[in-house]
Structure 1
Amino acid sequence: MTPSRLDATGHVLLRIARLLLGAGADSAHVHQRIETLAGQLGIEVQFFTGSERLLLMIASEGTYRTRVGHALGVMGIDAGRLVAVDEVVTALGAGRLDVEAADARLAEIEAHRSGYPDWIVVLAVAATAAALARLFGAAWPVVGAAFGAGLVNALVRLWLGRRGVLPAAVAALTACASGACAILPLRLTGDDPTLALVAAGMILVPGVPLINGIRDLVQGHAAIGLGRLANGIVVVLAIATGLSLASLIGGAAIPVSLQTANLPIGWDVLFATVCALGYALVFGAPLRAIPPILLCGALAHGLRTTVMALGGDIALGTLLGAFAAGLMASQVASRVAAPWTVFVFPAVVAMVPGSYAFRAMIGGLQLMRPGAENTVALLTATASALIGALVLTTAIAIGLLVASALHAVPLRRT
């Protein structure tokens, strides 16, 4: 392979890796895809993932090159982009695309974010917020307020995102605006707005980066794993700040300690399915992927609720729910031309303990205030929420890791 050809190939490999990481793939998957593709192209590679940039060392017939990729940027979730990039990787490895054609296709994918029309995304966010509030056991007036808060949430986030506002600032401003809109209507009815506020914050929580951060750490990719977790924590802190401002505006506070009742299993599965549908649309999942996503979402949340109804711990239920959803997603991915993460992430994000995380942050902000309110009870509630957030997020990540390890073919494909 000529030096210029080797340079072009290295450029494409780095672009594939950056797009996969930005669209929601974990580091182990990206390493596997790059190394497998390099073997199919007849070159040797050493690939390194850092917290900010990627490094690729390539060799072919005595010619060596080292390339540093562009900055990674924000790493969220774009299921449609994951599918599109995976198709390019498969075609390139099979010889149906050459390097130049693959690069052109990747440029198109990068320039045009996949997804659905804005009005569908707005309605999906609103329905997800309402379904989350109902899963928490909220009364119907509160569910209606959560739906309205979700509408405001989606509109503000779209408006700010298109103006290049930093993600943490988008989270804070959106949480403040949607939180205030959740509180104000309920002041007329006299209903407690706590669960509407929680739902308004939950749909902003960066669940996929947090899960992937833990998966990266477990799999030995510490730099990028810590980077993802740090970014996720900053966004959660921004959400907590925005909700605190909304509480001041509306005159209603989110308690650091919050007990919610589980719904009967039938209703739980129904609203978990609505959440999975909402997240699937927000994440830009292809239409063919939506039915399996709904099944995975119903299975994951329904199993968790069943375990808790039988006296099990929420951490155990979350672990088993994520594991079951991961197995189902792997089975589907082995039969459908799409990565398994496309099916599993929209299904499990509703179980991400976002309310624990920003309640812990709110508790921390309250502890900073001098006075009688800084009691042992507040400290205990804050620590409990923080530990709950860590344990439950880890349970989801471990459940997915075990599921992928037990299903070798989907692990190689995705």
Structure 2
Amino acid sequence: MGRHRNSECTSGGLYDGGVEAFLLRLARLLLGGGLSARDVETEVIAAGKALGYPDVQVAALPTGVFVGLSPDAPVQFSAAKSYIRFDQLSEFLSITARLRAGDLPADQACELLESAAAKRAPWSYGVANLGSILVGVGLVALLCPTWPTVAAGLIGSALVAGLATIAGRVKAMAEFLPVIAGFLVSYPILLAADAGWLDYPFRTIVAVLAILFPGSVFVTGLADLVAGHSSAGTARLAAALMQFTLFFVGIALAVMAAGHQLSELLDIAAPAWPLGIKLVGVILATIGIMVFCYCPLRHAASIIALSGVAGALQVYLGGEVSPALGGLVAALVASVGAQALARVGPPWHVTYLPAFMIVAPGSFAFMTASQVSGYSASPLVSAGSAFLGVAVGTLLGGAIKELEFSKTLARGVRRRRA
């Protein structure tokens, strides 16, 4: 590997400048794929060691990354892409895994990264947003599986899909999407409840809007904060709280327009539906997330199986014991299970992140907290405990993952030296 500056990949290898450019681009792409600051730094440092730079410096923020090849080398900054599809993320993580294992030359890694970053979407943006319909219907089946609520969930989710598609093309609307969606979804559901057409309006509203909730951002922020990434964690928490506030404003406006009181929506008493129906809801929601996030179809079986197991544990433990325990166990099982599956194929983030989006408070644990029958704490306390449970489970899973990273990297270094 050369030691003079060059800013591009070459057919013969990567020079210092090329390694720096490669790691910088890798970092911003992984950050745009939804990885936490800790995970981005872990992946980039491991890739740097595999390329012969054991002292790589990297600092990930929510909107960009700093990378340097050594403590004394100049540091470069790059803004993160706002959104990376999961099919691309799968290839990025496969590249880093092969680098750590010593199975991929540096020049080929650069070429593969360029190719994956330029890859066309397997389906259109509008089709991806249709996945929110499956998510909404699946979560209705999880929370309140009656025919009127399923119908309301189908119509409301179709509205959310349309609003999200428009917001993707109109920036001004994207900024106010939580308020707009919160009002336009909640108001007709509340009117239908007043007319006696459906029960459980709050559950239906939460199920329909869940795909837009920043629950995963909130828990990732907590995980970053606990791991010592105060800047990234605080920024993510602030952004998630602002999004939740905007949703609350939209729902509150609908409640006032319909002549209701907010306290009426916090009635969590409901019949106990069979676990099988709830599990069907989890699977439908998982398939919807796969469509929404462009998950690779070749990993569909792994993603659905892991999300189903984690979701079933969350439903059972969250209802029978507490939301906190359900969130902790589900997040831990999702992380460890994804690492086990990574040994036979799909990168761990690609199977873990959809499961995480199911067990994260915004898309699953929050709704588990809102549906618990017989649990003495208030819905807000239940939701808070679920947040913390998922965060702790995520941290424990991350610690196990870092140990596995270290073992894989050590084997790769020995293979390169041999």
Instruction: Report percent identity of matched pairs.
Output: 23
Q: 1:181 to 1:344 in 2, by over 3 A?
A: farther
Partner of 1:224: 232
Partner of 1:238: 246
Partner of 2:393: 399
Partner of 1:320: 329
Work out which of the residue numbers 22, 29, 32 in structure 2 matches 1:22: 32
Partner of 1:151: 158
State how far apart, in whole Å, the 1-side matches of 2:399 and 2:113 are.
Answer: 31
Partner of 1:97: 107
Partner of 2:275: 265
Query: Quick one: which amino acid aligns to residue 2 of structure 1?
Result: H
Does residue 127 of structure 1 match 2:134? yes
Equivalent position SS for 1:285: coil
Equivalent position SS for 1:31: helix
Partner of 1:409: 404
Partner of 2:56: 45
Shift of 1:118: 4.5
Shift of 1:103: 6.0
Partner of 1:371: none
Partner of 2:287: 277
State how far apart, in whole Å, the 1-side matches of 2:408 and 2:56 are.
Answer: 19
Does residue 335 of structure 1 match 2:329? no
State how far apart, in whole Å, the 2-side matches of 1:180 and 1:115 are.
Answer: 35
Q: 1:42 to 1:323 in 2, by over 3 A?
A: closer
Q: Which moved more, 1:214-223 or 1:45-54?
A: 45-54
In structure 1, stretches of 5+ residues that fail to align are 360-380
Q: Which moved more, 1:198-207 or 1:248-257?
A: 248-257
CA contact (8 A) 1:88 1:106 kept: no
Q: 1:298 to 1:140 in 2, by over 3 A?
A: same
List structure 1 segments (4+ residues) > 6 angstroms apart after TM superposition. Answer: 355-359, 410-414
Partner of 1:212: 220
State how far apart, in whole Å, the 2-side matches of 1:11 and 1:45 are.
Answer: 12
Query: Quick one: which amino acid aligns to residue 157 of structure 1?
Result: A
Q: 1:357 to 1:176 in 2, by over 3 A?
A: farther
Equivalent position SS for 1:2: coil
Shift of 1:116: 3.5
Q: 1:279 to 1:52 in 2, by over 3 A?
A: closer
CA contact (8 A) 1:175 1:243 kept: yes
Q: 1:233 to 1:19 in 2, by over 3 A?
A: same
CA contact (8 A) 1:131 1:275 kept: yes
Query: Quick one: which amino acid aligns to residue 101 of structure 1?
Result: E
Equivalent position SS for 1:56: strand
Work out which of the residue numbers 1, 4, 9 in structure 2 matches 1:2: 4
Does residue 390 of structure 1 match 2:399? no
What is the RMSD of the two structures over their aligned residues, measured on CA atoms? 3.2
Shift of 1:260: 4.8
Does residue 65 of structure 1 match 2:60? no
State how far apart, in whole Å, the 1-side matches of 2:51 and 2:305 are.
Answer: 37
Q: 1:138 to 1:265 in 2, by over 3 A?
A: closer
Partner of 1:350: 358
Equivalent position SS for 2:56: strand
Work out which of the residue numbers 136, 140, 145 in structure 1 matches 2:143: 136
Query: Quick one: which amino acid aligns to residue 84 of structure 1?
Result: E
State how far apart, in whole Å, the 2-side matches of 1:411 and 1:315 are.
Answer: 30
Q: 1:189 to 1:120 in 2, by over 3 A?
A: farther
**TM-score in terms of structure 1 length:** 0.81
Does residue 171 of structure 1 match 2:178? yes
State how far apart, in whole Å, the 1-side matches of 2:142 and 2:174 are.
Answer: 27
Equivalent position SS for 2:68: strand
CA contact (8 A) 2:30 2:92 kept: yes
